[in-house]
């Protein structure tokens, strides 16, 4: 079942410059595998030991996966997934 995934700018070189890609998956875990198959290197940049890295935020239809079941979050056909890399820093 296809879902639309928004790829953050730092990872677009892995997606061939695409801002959005379509993947078939029924969970975030499956989506991460599908992204890796289609765009090698993506999973290692998004996860560590099978879990989404702390500075990576993933939203399904605007809901943070941390409130939906994390990597086990269920996906349905037509869902939109946004991957957002947290940015920190600044001048103090």
Q: What pTM value is reported for the model?
A: 0.88
Sheet of strand 56-60, all strands in order from the earlier edge strand to the far edge: 20-24, 2-6, 80-85, 56-60, 63-64
- 44 or 88, greater pLDDT: 44
Asked if residue 91 is part of any domain, the answer here is: no
Burial class (CB in 10 A: 0-12, 13-18, 19+), 58: buried
Domain hosting 68: range is 2-85
* Number of domains comprising the chain: 1
Asked if residue 90 is part of any domain, the answer here is: no
pLDDT digit string, tens, across residues 22-76: 999 999 999 999 999 999 999 999 999 989 999 999 999 999 999 999 999 999 9
For residue 45, give the CATH number of its domain: 3.10.20.30
């Amino acid at each position: 079942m296809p879902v639309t995934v928004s790829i953050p700018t730092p990872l677009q070189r892995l997606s061939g410059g695409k801002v959005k890609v379509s993947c078939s998956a029924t969970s975030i875990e499956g989506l991460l595998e599908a992204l890796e198959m289609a765009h090698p290197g993506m999973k290692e940049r998004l996860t560590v030991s099978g879990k989404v890295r702390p500075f990576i935020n993933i939203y399904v239809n605007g809901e943070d996966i941390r409130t939906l079941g994390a990597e086990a979050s269920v996906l349905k056909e037509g869902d939109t997934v946004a991957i957002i890399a947290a940015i920190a820093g600044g001048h103090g």
